Amino acid sequence: TQLLEQSPQFLSIQEGENLTVYCNSSSVFSSLQWYRQEPGEGPVLLVTVVTGGEVKKLKRLTFQFGDARKDSSLHITAAQPGDTGLYLCAGAGSGGGADGLTFGKGTHLIIQP
């Protein structure tokens, strides 16, 4: 079973601060996705990273896939209250099955005005 550990579990910071959340595993993933979930809604895809060492930017969010494709990070610059939510990483195994996504337990992020 492939496991994804996310850290921290909870993070509360002031508006304007920077933060990084991590998604780690001992397993290799063929790709990794990051989702954001707001209260009362389903997760929404932010980004998919596929290549080891890949860096993708989405406005103030920077996503990195580890060189060995076992870990990923999400860095937010100058956090805004609108960034508040549950951030989930999901890894796709190399097996290629339709059920190939393994979700981490998520990081609850609160940005205080």
Q: Which stretch binds other proteins (CB under 8 A): 20-28, 41-49, 51-59, 72-80?
A: 41-49
Q: Tell whether residue 50 is a contact of other proteins (CB under 8 A).
A: yes
Angle at CA of residue 20, ends 37 and 58, nearest 5°: 60
Q: How far is the CB of 41 from other proteins (least distance, A)?
A: 6
Instruction: Pick from 10, 40, 59, 82 the residue near other proteins by CB under 8 A.
Output: 40
Among 7, 45, 51, 55, binds other proteins (CB under 8 A): 45
* 44 or 78: CB nearest other proteins: 44
Q: What DSSP element (H or E) covers 7?
A: strand 5-7
Task: Check residue 82 for interaction with other proteins (CB under 8 A).
Answer: no
Which amino acid belongs to residue 25?
S
Planar angle of CA 26, 63, 3, nearest 5 degrees: 25
Round to whole Å and give the CA distance between 79 and 36.
14
Whole-angstrom CA distances from 90 to 15, 47, 68, 81 are: 27, 11, 16, 24
Rule CB under 8 A: choose which of 43, 51, 64, 72 binds other proteins. 43
Q: Which residues would be at the binding site for other proteins (CB under 8 A)?
A: 30-31, 33, 35, 40-45, 48, 50, 88, 90, 92-93, 96-101, 103-106
